Structure 1
Amino acid sequence: MQTVISSDVAHMLMSVRNGKTAPPAHVPDSQIPLSIEDAYTIQDEVARHLGPIAGWKVGSETPASEPFCAPIHTSTIFTDGTTVPAELCRHLGVEAEIAYRFAHDLPPRTREWTRDEVLDAIGTIHPAIEILDTRFAQPGSQHKLLHTADQQSHGALIVGPGVADWRRFTPVQEPVVLTINNRIVAEHTGGNSAGDPLRLLVWLANHASRRKIGIAAGDIVTTGSTTGTIFVEHDADITACFPAIGSVRAHLA
């Protein structure tokens, strides 16, 4: 029964993405995934239609709670200074994040990846901007497992230049400045509810392994908002600066 529900939700999400169905304002209780595993099953069904996976988003509500994640596809990853096409996202929820690019594969395997193995596979650290969007009528309007199923509300990821000496940074102690249309809207130190993002990367490596996807060399993993989510209108200029790591800029058409 749950497989049928998962397929129905996946079909609905793809229908919205393809412009065949209006984003729903309400989803019946009978269509809500029964577990986080069911939500990931829906992610996998949707992902088969979205092209190559080139990264992940991972986060956690607290430093001790179970993380959650979603794959990110080539079609929604952009480089510093890009203009994100207006048609890509209906809603524009801006977040400043710290991301890591892997230099070595962490493929699926039967035994767990260790923390040392995962950290040794990291190549660079990056400033990033994630744009949150939704295939529902409004962000945050549905049961959280439906938003997890909807690729964790991912819209786009803009990745800044990388720094190879990533181990010298302590992400929870890094200052961040988020600017929207030349106005500072967030400026503080730390701010990620997940705490240490390296814990998230170790969890993700094993989660992706169990899902038979793994992490590939070149994949980018963004580790959650350091600023909260700030929704903006289209035609906005965004800059996220982590002074010691670097800056990333984007224009949201």
Structure 2
Amino acid sequence: MINGAQERQMMNAADMLLDARRTNRPLVELPADVRPQTVEEAYLVQDKMSWAYEAIGGWKVGAPTGDAEPMFAPMPAAWISCSGCEMRGRTHRYRGIEAEIAFLMGEDLPPRNTPYSRDEVLDAIASCHPAIEVLETAFIDPMQVARLSMIADLQLHGGFVYGPACPDWQRIDFSQEHVTLAVDGAVRVERTGSNTSGDLLRLLPFLANEGAARTGGLKRGDWITTGSWTGCTVASPGSAVDVQFSTVGKVNLRFGVEGSALPD
């Protein structure tokens, strides 16, 4: 249970992270006195940050291994775009990119005492899509900070781009799904069955059940993106990014050049 003093410290951490992102003046690390010491504290920072970005359009969820407990973070609705978009603005500094597979909720799954079964959650999904998660950060080098600081920083979330819906996605063997990620026409990553969570579909009932205390329940229209297939590749100003899944389909984006205007 987080007490009042801890909550004030996490509010200060959220303010520091927000300021670093907004001003494009990244931090080396959070000061020790406001650095999260538990996952609960890191999630509190995430939630405080998300309020500044207003409406939540969905959630990113993933796990580093097939046995690890998933971690999740809110995705601001203002940062969600469709394939072919240009990511503009000086807040795109890090430009990390990950190929992912995402799902659009077709029905509400409100919190309830009896856990939702896997089948119930999958039946509530409207569609499956190829996606690119854009990684951004309040830190100079997010790989050099404490893990809980990285988690607090919205788990490095900076944008979400979805491609066209994939028909008959329920028939896909995700363990055999192949993906390529190209930057400016050059393939940078090519892998098969490489989602780090193992069975990516296990992430969805986790979010509907264990995550419900934070999400308030999954809602129709929420996007759920389920972790990286390619690790993080860093792009450059003006780069075009293309992701191609063997079955799920393709999605692309372009980064604006330095000095372009912030989005309206």
The TM tier, using the shorter chain, reads: over 0.9
Which residue number in structure 1 is paired with residue 260 of structure 2? Answer: none
Q: Is the 8 A contact 2:22 2:91 kept in 1?
A: no
Structure 1: state its 5+ residue gaps. Answer: none
Q: Which runs of 4+ in 1 moved over 6 A?
A: none
Q: Distance in 2 between matches of 1:209 and 1:98?
A: 21
Which residue number in structure 1 is paired with residue 152 of structure 2? Answer: 149
Are 1:223 and 2:226 counterparts?
A: yes
Which residue number in structure 2 is paired with residue 52 of structure 1? Answer: 55
Aligned counterpart for 2:122 among listed residues 112, 119, 122: 119
Amino acid at match of 1:6: M
Q: Distance in 2 between matches of 1:247 and 1:212?
A: 29
Which residue number in structure 1 is paired with residue 240 of structure 2? Answer: 237
Q: Deviation of residue 57 (structure 1)?
A: 0.6
Mean CA deviation greater in 47-56 or 212-221: 212-221
**Can you list the C-alpha shifts for 1:158-185, whole angstroms capped at 9, x where unaligned?**
1001124221112222010111101111
Are 1:41 and 2:44 counterparts?
A: yes
Are 1:98 and 2:82 counterparts?
A: no
Which residue number in structure 2 is paired with residue 18 of structure 1? Answer: 22
Which residue number in structure 2 is paired with residue 165 of structure 1? Answer: 168
Q: Is the 8 A contact 1:67 1:203 kept in 2?
A: yes
Q: In structure 2, do the counterparts of structure 1 residues 212 and 249 end up closer, same or farther at CA, with 3 Å as the change threshold? A: closer
Q: Distance in 2 between matches of 1:50 and 1:207?
A: 24
Q: Distance in 1 between matches of 2:112 and 2:43?
A: 19
**What secondary structure sits across from 1:56 in the alignment?**
strand
Q: Deviation of residue 14 (structure 1)?
A: 2.0
**What secondary structure sits across from 2:205 in the alignment?**
helix
Q: Distance in 2 between matches of 1:82 and 1:9?
A: 32
Q: Percent identity?
A: 38
Are 1:4 and 2:13 counterparts?
A: no
Q: Deviation of residue 212 (structure 1)?
A: 5.0
**Can you list the C-alpha shifts for 1:129-182, whole angstroms capped at 9, x where unaligned?**
111110112222211111111110001111001124221112222010111101
Are 1:174 and 2:177 counterparts?
A: yes
Amino acid at match of 1:174: E
Amino acid at match of 1:47: S
Q: Deviation of residue 238 (structure 1)?
A: 0.6
With structure 2 as the length reference, what TM-score do the two structures score?
0.91
Q: Deviation of residue 72 (structure 1)?
A: 0.3
Which residue number in structure 1 is paired with residue 68 of structure 2? Answer: 65
Which residue number in structure 2 is paired with residue 108 of structure 1? Answer: 111
Q: Is the 8 A contact 1:208 1:215 kept in 2?
A: no
Are 1:203 and 2:221 counterparts?
A: no
**What secondary structure sits across from 2:227 in the alignment?**
strand
Q: Distance in 2 between matches of 1:27 and 1:98?
A: 31
